[in-house]
């Protein structure tokens, strides 16, 4: 004969199949014994906590149970999906072709500049050539060129010579202004292996882009080739001086390759500006009159 089910206190939960009595939790009492048994079990597992509250707290748990799936619109307890991050915090996984090309060019520029900086220090592979490179640096500095133009104006006794030297002075001043303006806007630092032992430096000279020596070399060489009658060997020497001066800026570690390349381009364009705004006694008589009075 099967043994009857018993509750937690050891008493039978229901009568045998042949018994006519009914227990308080039987369906005859309208109770639904299975439900009360389940609530009693929940109450015994968590003393002091009733069954309905335990069920609510279990549903409020942020950790989903294994095998359970969240239902859409399950009520106020359901969590909304997280908001997407702002645009500035997102990782650009698909950069444009221009950005990739610019970063690659910058990496190549830094690598090549470091490789060509063979005279950057005394212990460099070509450290013994630093005095010659620094002599080239002085030859392309702005102060000697400005002093030379002013001295030539003071010693010149012809209108043609004064006109050429006046425009050379104008070109040098324009070069200083544009280079200082671009350096102040870009603010690119000089190479890390550079030694700040230049001939003369001002505030903007701690920046690298563009190379003022390269712009001045391109401007001066084009000016000389245009307005001075020179033999072919001398013209070749002028061009070589400009190229070697630009190369020496990278070898000394003063500039990167792109600084010198853009400097050459800027200097070439500066002469076009000077040639377009060429100063003569007719379009700028005040300058020539003032200079003659001095």
Q: Which residues are catalytic?
A: 213, 255
Phi/psi zone of residue 280: left (φ > 0), alpha (ψ -120 to 50 degrees), beta? Answer: beta
Say how far residue 21 (Cα) sits from the centre of its chain: 88
d(CA 220, CA 218): 6
Instruction: Please check whether residue 156 is in contact with residue 229, taking contact to mean a CB–CB distance below 8 angstroms.
Output: no
CB contact set of 45 (below 8 Å; sequence gap of 6+) = none
Determine contact, residues 268/161, Cβ cutoff 8 Å: no
d(CA 142, CA 263): 14
Which SS3 state, helix, strand or coil, does residue 283 take? coil
Max distance between CA atoms of the chain, in angstroms, equals: 143
Alpha-carbon span 196 to 189, nearest angstrom: 12
Alpha carbons 167 and 169: distance in angstroms, whole number: 5
**How far apart are alpha carbons 227 and 4 in whole angstroms?**
123
The burial class, CB within 10 Å (0-12 / 13-18 / 19+), for 10 is exposed
Q: Which of 21, 20, 22, 25 is nearest to 8 (CA)?
A: 25
**DSSP 8-class letter at 255:** S
Tokens of 285: 């008589």
For the chain, count helices (H), then strands (E). 10, 0
């Amino acid at each position: 004969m099967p043994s009857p089910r018993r509750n937690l206190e050891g008493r039978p939960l229901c009568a045998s199949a042949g018994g006519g009595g009914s227990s308080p939790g039987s369906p005859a009492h309208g109770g639904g014994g299975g439900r009360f048994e389940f609530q009693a079990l929940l109450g015994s597992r968590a003393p002091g906590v009733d069954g309905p509250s335990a069920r609510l707290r279990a549903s409020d748990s942020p950790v989903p149970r294994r095998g359970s799936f969240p239902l859409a619109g399950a009520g106020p307890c359901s969590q909304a999906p997280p908001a997407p991050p702002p645009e500035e915090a997102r990782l650009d996984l698909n950069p444009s072709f221009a950005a990739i090309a610019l970063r690659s060019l910058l990496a190549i520029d830094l690598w090549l500049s470091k490789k060509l900086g063979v005279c950057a220090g005394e212990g460099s592979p070509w450290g013994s050539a630093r005095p010659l490179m620094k002599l080239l640096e002085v030859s392309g500095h702005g102060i000697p060129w400005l002093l030379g133009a002013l001295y030539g104006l003071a010693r010149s006794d012809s209108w043609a010579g004064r006109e050429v030297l006046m425009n050379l002075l104008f070109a040098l001043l324009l070069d200083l202004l544009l280079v200082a303006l671009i350096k102040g806007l870009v603010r690119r630092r000089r190479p890390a292996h550079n030694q700040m032992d230049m001939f003369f430096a001002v505030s903007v000279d701690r920046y690298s882009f563009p190379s003022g020596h390269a712009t001045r070399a391109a401007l001066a060489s084009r000016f000389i080739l245009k307005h001075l009658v020179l033999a072919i060997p001398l013209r070749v020497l002028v061009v070589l001086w400009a190229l070697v001066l630009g190369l020496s800026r990278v070898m000394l570690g003063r500039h990167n390759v792109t600084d010198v390349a853009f400097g050459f381009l800027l200097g070439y364009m500066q002469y076009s500006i000077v040639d377009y705004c060429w100063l003569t006694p007719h379009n700028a008589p005040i300058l020539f009159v003032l200079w003659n009075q001095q």
